[in-house]
Structure 1
Amino acid sequence: MRRSPRFLAAEILSRVESGASYANILLQHNLGALSEPRERSLATVLVNGCLKHRLTLDYALRLHLRKPMSSLPVRVRQILRLGAFQLLYLDKIPGAVAVNESVELAKTSEPKFTALLNGVLRRVMETGWDLPWPEAAREPVRYLSVRHSHPDWLVRRWWKRWGFTETEELLRLDNEPAPLWIRANVLRTDREGLRERLLLEGVAAEPGERVPESLRVSGLGALAELAAFREGLFTVQDESSQMVAHVLRPQSGDAVLDACSAPGGKTTHLAEFMHNTGSISAFDRHEGKLRLVEELAGRLGISIIHTYPGDARELSGVEDESQDGVLVDAPCSGLGILRRKADLRWRKEEKDIEALPQLQLAILERAAAKVRPGGTLVYSTCTVEPEENFEVVKAFRSAHAEFVPADLAERLPFSLSDPRDRRQAEKGMLQLLPQRHGTDGFFLAQFTRREV
């Protein structure tokens, strides 16, 4: 069978389930095998959709199976999910086509299961969404977990924190396609100039509401094919993470340290803020990831970033109390960006959250030693879990009275309308939530080191 979008999706899904790699990496490396943009788009939708909705798909499929899903070969499970996803979520694909394509796909790798696939998927097509869901009033966590395809332990955490309605909205947003944001490189253009250029290249772009450099784009296609991308007029970066540079707000000529810099979106944004004058020390423990920082800086025309391989708990090579600004974009659970990483929800366990704060605090404390008196320290994560955010900040402040919180509202590039947000910001912290702010789940904290 030719390398079709469904064939490629089944291969990628099988490799993800076996733990071989991450979905976004496999898509990036394999989409080139499909020649047509619409085929690449379909393969991406199929992979991300089957991963995000896996629990719901399995629930619908199990109603028509005589044996557990786990007893079936990996490839058969993926073909069943692919077929069910098309039947339940993709209105533009006729049901008969979804079933027949799934059966044909099975003939190439699991011919013994073609009859089972045909029968089960036809019953899924007949049943549609008329499924016996758990009763929401009696089993709220199980209902939300199955209906919106999130692990039970995570739903329980969020349900206890926010209640049923708000949790359901967050789960729903996690399952939607993530918006694509880019950041204008102000060293070479401005947002309106970039927008006009992209329109000439067939890319629709709308200005963001929170960050003056941000544009929300659609129809982007292959980045390398865009002259504006090759010329370094922009880089891809979510709008919420673009806020970091505005909060740290380095000046031209400053010395800045980025403790966890790869892949370089925030690092290069800081350099643009500094008008490419001064110096940025960019650390990462993986040399290969630092090459991504260097390549991005080169494309954007930035020369002030100096990369250092090394553990962020050590930061060797930079003197203490020497930096005007320090950023700690800490390694975290990533539970604020589940809509961007389709397989992440199935890779995380609750014990992962328990282990991270100790690492995050160790990095924050070491980085804080690099901040000069009067300098600025910013801590950020892409998670919504308080243990990784508020609790880390609380522990840091209790041990470091020399750092005082700074009102975030004075540096954010947009105004805060919610009184809860304003109260947080006055204490130097802000938790952004998809269901409340329409952003990724993102946390920011800002401190100033007392003058001697």
Structure 2
Amino acid sequence: MFDPKIHLTSDDLKRMVENKCERELCFLLLCDVIGAGSYSNLSIKKADRIAQKYNVSLNFVRAMFYGTLTYLYSIDQIFKRITRKDIEELDIVSSVAIRQALWQELFSDSDIPDYAVVSTAVDIVKKYNPKACGLVNALLRQITSADRSVKDIDQYNPNVKTSLKPELFGILKKSYGQEKAVSIGKALLTPSLTTLRFDPAKISAEDLISELSDEGIEACPGHFMPCALTIKGSPSGIENTKAYKTGLISVQNEAAQLASVIASPVKGDKILDVCSAPGGKSCHMAEIASDDCSILALDLNPSRLELVRQNAERLDLKSIETETADSTDLSKFVDGVYDIVLCDLPCSGLGLIGRKPDIRLNMTYEKILEISKIQKKILDEASKKVKKGGVLIYCTCTLNSDENEGRMKDFLADHPEYKASSLEGMLPSKVKLDKNREISLAQGYVTLFPDTDNVDGFFISRMERVL
């Protein structure tokens, strides 16, 4: 049970950042996510904003925070095997302090002695739940003194090797087979690199790399998208760069960029983006069409829709209008008038686990079933808006064949007015091709993988309205 007293306030952040209380700060950030259910990316952003004011680096905090969340399932299973206890039965202070300490002991590259790791964890517990100090000290000493082989995740089953609970690993295994599932899972243990999208009509890759370097940010060309740069190191501070403020760059993974390329907007197109926030794809489509098109960006959440407006304004894009709407009911919008309808729909998000590790904690099979119902409703509604000869783009940021090609195939079976539109020849030349991918491209879809494509897990399909 989460203790509301263990809550990360702005005053806490200021004090800990200013005094460089890195482990305590990480502890409270983890409590915020594990105990209170906050999103990991939003929690770390709060700390980043304050750290920038004090010119303090949070690289160590970030590594510990994301590392602990990433390896949480593995840590819990190793803890259980050694202590014969379920860590979930402990209070939130004890469980989070132990997990953070075990990440340092088992998975970090630091050479901090075990006794120092234990001592620091006990000091944190002493501050927030002093009665638990003795228990935490005893449990951590039991684990740190255990044989190293018992703490080697490669000696465990695939769930522990990939730090994925059985139901999530099972989805990958069902979708792609055991060997590929393990490969994907291991790739998702590595934090995703931050990728930028730039408009080549405004600046060249070489000039942009030089400009970012002048502000202390090291960038290099992306893996396959010609308008992508990959950032080396922490992504904090990107939004403070001149390039970002003047609309030269946006933060967007290459996999997500590919969706707009496959949509292939041209000048004069009328486009509907039904779940648009924060606006990356709407803005990218506007750039591809030289801002000479008409894009209506919808979202259910007004505050997230404001992000679309802000991004369009920052990028100086005039072709995007926004409107708050529930995309499960689009009856107020005219049918059959859009050249492109883009549906980047709510999904289980398994392809984003590398950058949003809280998905490992919170996503369940039951939630996926509910999400699947929403996907069907939105896709059915959105499909009515495409004109004859127009295209429907369905994409997700998950790696679940039921939500991806399964959803596409079910849709086509229910909608004879649509057919799959081949993606052959539409992918950048640097995208890796194999027999399976060539087959899927001919069938109108592509799945990108973190292990072989070095991007977020992502699915994109293209369907043409023929009746």
TM-score by length of 2: 0.89
Q: Which amino acid aligns with 1:53?
A: Y
Instruction: Give the Cα–Cα distance (whole angstroms) in 2 for the partners of residues 38 and 392 of structure 1.
Output: 46
Partner of 1:26: 43
Q: Which residues of 2 match residues 162-177 of structure 1 at below 5 A?
A: 162-177=176-191
> What SS class does the counterpart of residue 205 from structure 1 fall into?
strand
Q: Is 1:157 matched up with 2:184?
A: no
Distance change >3 Å, CA 134–CA 16, structure 1 → 2: closer
Contact 2:398 2:458 in 1 (8 A): yes
Q: Which residues of 2 match residues 288-367 of structure 1 at below 5 A?
A: 288-315=303-330, 317-367=332-382
Aligned pair partner of 2:132 in 101, 105, 113? 113
Q: Is 1:379 matched up with 2:394?
A: yes
Paired residue total:
446
Partner of 1:103: 122
Partner of 2:434: 418
Q: Which residues of 2 match residues 170-189 of structure 1 at below 5 A?
A: 170-189=184-203
Instruction: Give the Cα–Cα distance (whole angstroms) in 1 for the partners of residues 179 and 376 of structure 2.
Output: 33
Q: Which amino acid aligns with 1:350?
A: Y
Partner of 1:50: 68
Contact 1:264 1:293 in 2 (8 A): yes
Which string of whole-angstrom CA distances, capped at 9 and with x for unpartnered residues, describes residues 345-394 of structure 1? 11111122223333212212221221122212211011111211112111
Distance change >3 Å, CA 126–CA 39, structure 1 → 2: farther
Distance change >3 Å, CA 124–CA 295, structure 1 → 2: same
Q: Which amino acid aligns with 1:11?
A: L
Partner of 2:288: 273
Q: Which amino acid aligns with 2:29?
A: I
Structure 1 residue 135: deviation in Å? 10
Partner of 2:454: 438
Q: Which residues of 2 match residues 245-284 of structure 1 at below 5 A?
A: 245-284=260-299
Partner of 2:29: 12
Q: For structure 1, list consecutive stretches of 5 or more residues without a partner in the other structure.
A: 137-141
Aligned pair partner of 1:212 in 226, 243, 253? 226
Identity across matched positions, percent: 29
Instruction: Give the Cα–Cα distance (whole angstroms) in 1 for the partners of residues 72 and 55 of structure 2.
Output: 25
Instruction: Give the Cα–Cα distance (whole angstroms) in 1 for the partners of residues 435 and 187 of structure 2.
Output: 23
Q: Which amino acid aligns with 2:216?
A: G
Instruction: Give the Cα–Cα distance (whole angstroms) in 2 for the partners of residues 317 and 372 of structure 1.
Output: 16
Distance change >3 Å, CA 352–CA 291, structure 1 → 2: same
Q: Which amino acid aligns with 2:207?
A: G
Q: Is 1:72 matched up with 2:90?
A: yes
Aligned pair partner of 2:101 in 77, 83, 95? 83
Instruction: Give the Cα–Cα distance (whole angstroms) in 2 for the partners of residues 418 and 66 of structure 1.
Output: 46
Which string of whole-angstrom CA distances, capped at 9 and with x for unpartnered residues, describes residues 266-303 of structure 1? 11101101111121000111111100101111111111
Moved more, 124-133 or 257-266: 124-133
TM-score by length of 1: 0.92
Structure 1 residue 82: deviation in Å? 1.0
Which string of whole-angstrom CA distances, capped at 9 and with x for unpartnered residues, describes residues 117-144 of structure 1? 33333343333642077997xxxxx711
Partner of 2:8: none
Q: For structure 2, list consecutive stretches of 5 or more residues without a partner in the other structure.
A: 1-11
Q: Is 1:229 matched up with 2:227?
A: no
Contact 2:300 2:324 in 1 (8 A): yes
**C-alpha RMSD of matched pairs (Å):** 2.3
Contact 1:186 1:272 in 2 (8 A): no
Structure 1 residue 230: deviation in Å? 1.1
Instruction: Give the Cα–Cα distance (whole angstroms) in 2 for the partners of residues 316 and 99 of structure 1.
Output: 60
> What SS class does the counterpart of residue 319 from structure 1 fall into?
coil
Distance change >3 Å, CA 204–CA 401, structure 1 → 2: same
Structure 1 residue 399: deviation in Å? 2.5
Instruction: Give the Cα–Cα distance (whole angstroms) in 2 for the partners of residues 403 and 316 of structure 1.
Output: 20
